[in-house]
Chains A and B, each alone.
Chain A
Amino acid sequence: MTFRAKLFWVFTLALLLSVGLVAAGVTVATRRAFDDLNREHSDALVAQFQREFDRRGEEVVDRVKAIASEEATIHMAVDLSLPKGDASVYVYDARGVSQSHQLDFLDFVNSDGTIISSAEWPAHFNSKMNWVIQPEDWASTGSFLTKMDTQDGPTLGLMAVTQVPVADKAIYIVGGERLDKGFLSSLVLPPGMRALLYLNLDQGFQANDLVSAGTPENEPERFTSLIEKEQASPQPRTEKIQWTFDPASAEEIHALPLVGRQKELLGVLLVGNSLRNVVLLERRIRYLALIVAGIGLLLGALLSWWAAARVTRPVTKLVTAAQEVAEGNWSAHVDVRGRDEVGRLARSFNQMTHQLIEQRERLIQAERVAAWREVARRLAHELKNPLFPLQTTVENMQRAKDKNPELFDEVFRESTRILLTEIENLKSIVGRFSDFSKMPQPEFAAVNVNDVVRDVVKLFEAQLGAVGRPPITPELHLDEELPAIQADATMLHRAMENLVLNAMDAMPAGGVLMLRTAHKDGTVLVEVSDTGGGLTPEESERIFTPYYTTKQHGTGLGLAIVQAVVSDHGGRISVESESGVGTSFHIELPSHPPRRPQKFPMLLKQEEEA
């Protein structure tokens, strides 16, 4: 990832984080505000319901009292207080009275608890309603909830009881309203709110006991946990129920326990407050926020990109220049005019490269001088050998001429022979130097290194198994899927020859010559290993130095040539050796050569002169 991209992402992420934090904060604050509003709303509605409930209870009490004070009721009470009072006459009276007083339940109960007439269950006459005659001050009890038996089973009623005393007896008027769908429908609730009633008539949760004002609940079992909690411990509770995957379907359910006179749980009023509007509003706010954030992020990203570009341009220039420098173009210059750190860096860079160039030139000069000194030293060393016998031979000839003229012809012949031999030697030395200096520029073409290796092995095949010397066994481990690389096949061939020669020279007692090729990530790897005596660490360091040799003969240029070839191909060469085990040379050749390497000016000059 580029510095610009990193910077861009940093800017963008920072922006994203900021925007995200702000959005989250806004969302939380909004939700809290809505929740508070919602809670206030719900509390107000629950209180309203409670008032409504109480009001209905008072109405029930008033109606029951009105019935008790009617002449017909008093007449019935008087009649039934007489020994011959016939309750059968009144068996169907309750229904008409209940309808005229708009009560769902109405029972006339005798002083012994026997039902005289029942509006909600006409056939229930003569049955017992013993709880009515339990000692209780009905006048002060007011309305209450209780379970009532009907033809269709038990249900809940908001009831009131009044006595009509006659002499030492009394009849009881038990009236009330049924807590059912109609009761729920009569409650005035604002839009988005609804009321359900759970009749706690059985153990556990029974879906059939859940009454709603409108259509029956599709999933009554969703209320199971809330109801069971109420059954375990009756107290006002609130739970949220999400009906579908859509959060807008969520509903806040307030559970209000409805208890009877003995504080037993008779029912649970569930007031549902739809959170749909809240959720939709939140969602809308969130979408807006997201859109705004998105636009902001987009703008921010663009700005970030522009800013990053602006900020990184000098850096890029710096990087480019550095790359050029790394590739050898030490004259790369960074054109940055800023006064900030980047500008100072650029100026420092330019200064550095300039100094590097100078230093390099000085170094080159020094190296050149060193190289010349080395060359001179090597020349001196190489030349000294043949020159000494030349000198000795000429001196011998002089001596002979001077002192033994009779021997001068023989001495002259011998001396000329020696002189010619040493002159050939000198010519050979000069020739190798010339070869090294005349190494041409590589001409790149697609080359399969395996072919080069095979050719080299074939070339030395005879020598490897020559009679009179211990055999050297070649082992080839060539990667048949070796890709072709851009290389100079001739120069590679020469380098391989030198390596093979070196390896052969390192195994005077025979051994194994292994050649391996492989490839990795487009780079071709070549390994040439021997099982000779190996090199010491000091020898390994200097092995590629021109004219360095561990052999008794040779100019020491072979590995230098190999290194030069490898370097021209943009590759690398390394050596791995263990004394007594053997030596391995590892060559890495890229698929494409680099730019033309900088040559020593001295060598270029020599090329030109040559």
Chain B
Amino acid sequence: MRAFAQAPAPPEASAAPASGAGGEAVLPKEWSDAVGTLAEKIAIAARGAGAVSIDMRNISSLSSAESSAIRALFESRLRARHLAIVPSSQAGAAQLILTLSESRTAFVWAAEFSGSPAAGPNSVAIVSVDKSPGKPEQNAKQHITLDKRLVWQQPSRFLDVAVFDNPAGSPSYRVVLDPTEIVFYESSDAHWDKLPSTVATLRSSPWLRTVTGRFDTTTNEVWVWDGNPNAQNFPAVHCSGPLDDPKQIQCTPWKHNVLSVVPWWDFPGHEGATAAELWQTCGQGSIVLSTGNGDWTQPDSIQPYIVSESGATVIPAGDPMPMDGPVIYLTRQDQGNTARAIVRNLATGNYEAYIVTATCSQ
């Protein structure tokens, strides 16, 4: 088992394409391979044409930088196969339509080709690459104080995630707290591989639907308990041990006191909202992040507040940051101006974990 490298600050490591020297996106290897395959197919179909004109359209969630990078790579591969790239208006060239599409789980890039002697009436070449779970979302369009970064997503429900990002070249890790076990993942390229060792926390319980839990990476502790305020006699679990060594993690039953674990904030008008007080202050008060007033069937938002030291005044500070679904868990990170939020994405059905960063601008 490789030791996790404890980064002093959460890096921006992810499976997203890195920026090149000129600011253009650098494509992951898998993407580059796919583009190459596509170009190969097109080159065979365009045999005898000598020149192609390319019209590209992006109907996926790829950014303009990414789509430009894909196109540039595609053209270079075609040129390598002795095909000239010419404008669309040039007569005699083979017409090519390159479409960047996507499905739920993969990017799909298709080239519709016609006009070459070797091409059929609707000659199409298609390649696909699986999407990585760590693909970052675009930044929110508004200039708000809050920022979010997707650090984990999976179809089934999880309670918390511990993020261990390392610089490029070293694998990153995710430790995911599922309702009944702790699961470990290691990154390789754009994939996350599940490590075989897991740690069981709760045995089967009828109250699993309201189970909640959290990591404390500074103390290497894990708590799992029933989030239902009316729960009684629920066998909660407390685990402790180095998170980079699953075998050493020990879990024992624990009688919890809800209020002692996580400070609740009740905001006027937001009864029942989930809140997290960040370590960082802003001005004269603490930054507190709170979920919105919707229910779990509607997309939620995270609203920053500044709360006075005494807690008497609670002032919204900044625009709420919309999320793709209800925020079912919000807790501050162990240090700094970040919090962890787990959101149920209503569109995809996935559970997603974000690192929310609150930047205070005065």
Complex contact flag A–B (Cβ < 8 Å)? no
Query: Residues of A with Cβ closer than 8 Å to B?
Result: none
